[in-house]
Structure 1
Amino acid sequence: MELFWLIVEWAALVVVAAAVLGFLYFYFIKFAHPGEVVRIEDIKDGNWHSVPMKGGTMCSDGSAYEIYIRKGSSKNLMIYFAGGGACWDGYSASRPITLMSALGGNSRSLKSFYFPKLQWFYPKAMGGIGDDKDPKNAFRDWNIVFVPYCTGDMHIGDIKNTYTYNGKKIEIHHNGRKNSLAALDWVFGNFRDTDKILVLGESTGAFASAFYTPLVADHYADKKIYSLCDAAMLTSGRWKDILDTVWNSQSQKNLGFKIGKDIFEDALIHRVDSVKRQIKYLHSNTLYDDVFTKFGAVLNHQSTGSNDFIDQWTANTKASMTRLSNSDIDYNFFITNWGYDPKKHATQHTITTNEFYHKCTADGVSYAEWLKRNVIDDENLSLGQTLIQQ
């Protein structure tokens, strides 16, 4: 019996030691902070590197801001705007995304709203289109500039707000515009000779892709710019107040469009400038997005007690994609119900940088293949038309 308990104790120690070593490996080696550089010429390998940003840049909690770079073997360039929620009032500002909230499991209602500081390990965890070890990834040799997100304002705010909730004051630096412009200035100064350029984003970063692609197109005026917006759909009558009053985005002056109820659609076809740019817009959504349906419910004060808030989001998505398809812009879409969970009446949120990149399909074609054919091959391909028409 003593031998048995001795074996149990040693087995427990081995398990604990393995867990500790695993944590140390991932924290200090696998996801260690990327080494710092100043210019693209400083990078001599294919690893991720950090570039500190200056000029008044910061995260919502006032901490330092930086961007991340991985040098590719081609002359093609990706500018990736990260997602990570948003906040616009005391309730949402009081609920940042933390490790504990992320581990809290899935809920019918949204429990946390935004990242208050940098998550520097994110670039190294970038899969899908960012996986340079995947021979099936047509973008594996591209240069990537990763623009992280930590300001709760879709990368466009320019104001410091003090919110109050339950008597507690929360100070938020909505500093997205300064951060984004600093990142793009670095891109423009370091990538002067490029082939193809893809501006992309997921979740709230998808909106930033739509907002800043015209600026990229103006700088690289002789090139066709590709803009990928993965999971860009949130309609609300509150956008004008949130973008221009709460976040001080000055949308017409700084972003070039009039705000209605669908700010993604507004950014593409309700512009106030008359500049003709070479932009090909690529728009992807899953039919019952498990995250943005909940964001929409909070924005629009909808009950989550039934599936009505999900079905309304889906109807808005299909209607917007139809209007954009019928407009005169260069636009192709990908919409799918792949992976539908009938118990939750939900589909996954994003596709581009995760395990769904190759798995997710529409009309029998994978998302990765759709993206390759639209960008690499410059084919015009939209998928999921039957879902839109249902």
Structure 2
Amino acid sequence: MKTKLVQSVRYTWRNVLPAAAPGCSQGTPYSFWVKEGNPTKVAVILAGGGACWTGENSALHGKRFYRPYAGLDEDPSDLGGVFDSDNPENPLADYTTVYLPTANGDVFLGDSVTVYDVPAMGGQPAGKITILHKGYDNAASALDWVFKTYPEPTTVAVMGWSAGALASPLYTHIIAQHYPDAAVTHFADGGGAYRVGERLAPLFKTWGTANVLKRVKGFEDLSVDSLSLEDLYIRAAELHPEIVFHQYNERHDSIQALFMQLMGVAAPDVPGNLDDGHAYIRAKIPNFCTYTSWGHDEGIIGGYYDGVLSKNALDNRGRPHVLDRFYTRQTNGVRFLDWFTAAVTGKPVEDVACVDSETPEYHWTRPKFP
């Protein structure tokens, strides 16, 4: 009698190397990750990973604020949040999930090859560095693979966090155009406070963002001279009135404050910028909804531990995810998971905003022991 081996079914990630991708910031191969699930339900996630736009913050031997490479070390299998397929509360647990690392310093809005002058620093003499700001083409190559591999999904959730959140409305438009019969949803995790006016124009110019906009149908007439990140939301929402564009931020996001300082903003006002940016979008389009929570962090969909045990949620990342902030976060009595689940499955949600932006609130009770 033969023994039949039964292997338990688990979702696993595999790395995909798209042939047409131009490569990461230094020309090394660009790859992305896929977790096979239900082929009719697809989630596309644009990852965080910072940005660069000067020789000083592009140099590999300096204090980098961007990820210059994408490869096997970007394996998302140990992340929590939407990546934790074992959690029965995860609304994306059975989705086919495509995870696109950022690796070009251009928040997926780049189409240029830029040579920067690097000042003397870190014991190294002054020099030059060439950066492939080709984030758009890398993402486009990955999406081309997705479109061919999953030709007829009925449900598609497009989302991004931190750097990946910034261009997420544009990619939602691109994906919705390709899948006109699918129910497409959008969610951005962070990035709502970059209401910094003309300070964005130099970044867009060095990244070649104008080249990207000219290549995306419906965005061709936008000028980078006056472009704001809110304008990407407005244009995408105008082109897709059937899609509600969702944005999550923490009221005192320290990551956004840091990058505004790198742009030259001496005293970043994250709460004020969030309010101004949200008001600007709402004055133009109705299909926009926000969840603004207490705290100083970002990356909630990536499964960082919540501040129940630590003042800085980014200090405690890993398994088990019993304190995964994706599942424990609550604001004004509204559990973030419930709000997110409704948003990414096409159900209506109300705006949520913290009243006291410093006092933690959790959908979690510390267990009592005898």
TM-score band by shorter chain is: 0.7 to 0.9
Instruction: Give CA deviations for 1:117-174 in whole Å, capped at 9, x if unaligned.
Output: 1153342122101110001212211110111111001112122122122212112111
Q: Which sections of structure 2, spanning at least 5 residues, go unmatched? A: 1-8, 120-125, 304-323, 358-370
Letter in 2 for 1:113: F
Q: Does the CA-based 8 Å contact 1:70-1:144 persist in structure 2?
A: yes
- Once superposed, what is the RMSD of the aligned Cα atoms? 2.4
| Aligned counterparts, 1:217-366, within 5 A | 217-233=176-192, 234-236=194-196, 237-243=198-204, 245-250=205-210, 252-255=213-216, 256=219, 257-259=222-224, 263-270=228-235, 275-276=239-240, 278-299=242-263, 301-303=264-266, 308-309=267-268, 312-337=269-294, 340=295, 347-354=296-303, 355-366=324-335
For residue 146 of structure 2, what is the aligned residue in structure 1?
187
Q: Could you tell me whether the CA contact under 8 Å between 1:210 and 1:264 is conserved in 2?
A: no
Does structure 2 retain, via aligned residues, the 8 Å contact 1:335–1:387? no
Matched-pair contact (CA < 8 Å) for 1:116–1:150: yes
Once residues 274 and 228 of structure 1 are traced to their aligned partners in structure 2, the CA distance between those partners, rounded to angstroms, is 16
Check 1:225–1:70 CA distance in 2 against 1; reply closer, same or farther (3 A cut): same
* SS of residue matched to 1:279: coil
Q: Write the letter of the residue equivalent to 2:41.
A: N
The one of 99, 108, 112 aligned to 1:146: 99
Task: Return the alpha-carbon distance in structure 2 between the equivalents of residues 220 and 261 of structure 1.
Answer: 31
CA contact (8 A) 2:46 2:101 kept: yes
TM-score, normalised to structure 2, is 0.78
- The answer for the alignment partner of 1:117 in structure 2 is 69
Tell me, which stretches of 5 or more residues in structure 1 are unaligned?
1-43, 98-110, 341-346
Deviation at 1:68, TM superposition (A): 0.9
SS at match of 1:161: strand
Q: Which has the larger radius of gyration?
A: 1
CA distance in 2, matches of 1:188, 1:171: 31
Structure 2 CA distance for aligned equivalents of residues 368 and 262 of structure 1:
32
Which of 106, 109, 113 does residue 160 from structure 1 map onto?
Answer: 113
**3-state SS in 1 of match to 2:180:** coil
User: 2-side partners of 1:155 and 1:130: how far apart?
Assistant: 21
Q: In the alignment, what sits opposite 1:77?
A: 42
1:383 lines up with 2:358 in the alignment: no
- Equivalent residues of 1:57, 1:175 under 8 A apart: yes
Match of 2:54 in 1: 89
Structure 1 residue 192 displacement after superposition: 1.5
TM normalised by structure 1 equals: 0.75
Report how far residue 298 of structure 1 moved: 1.2
> Residues 55 and 206 (structure 1 numbering): CA distance in 2 closer, same or farther, change over 3 Å?
same
Instruction: Return the alpha-carbon distance in structure 1 between the equivalents of residues 172 and 334 of structure 2.
Output: 27
Contact 1:225 1:280 in 2 (8 A): no
1:386: Cα distance to partner?
4.9
Pairwise CA distance, 1:79 = 0.3
Deviation digits for residues 85-128 of structure 1 (CA, Å, limit 9, x no counterpart): 0111111112579xxxxxxxxxxxxx531111115334212210
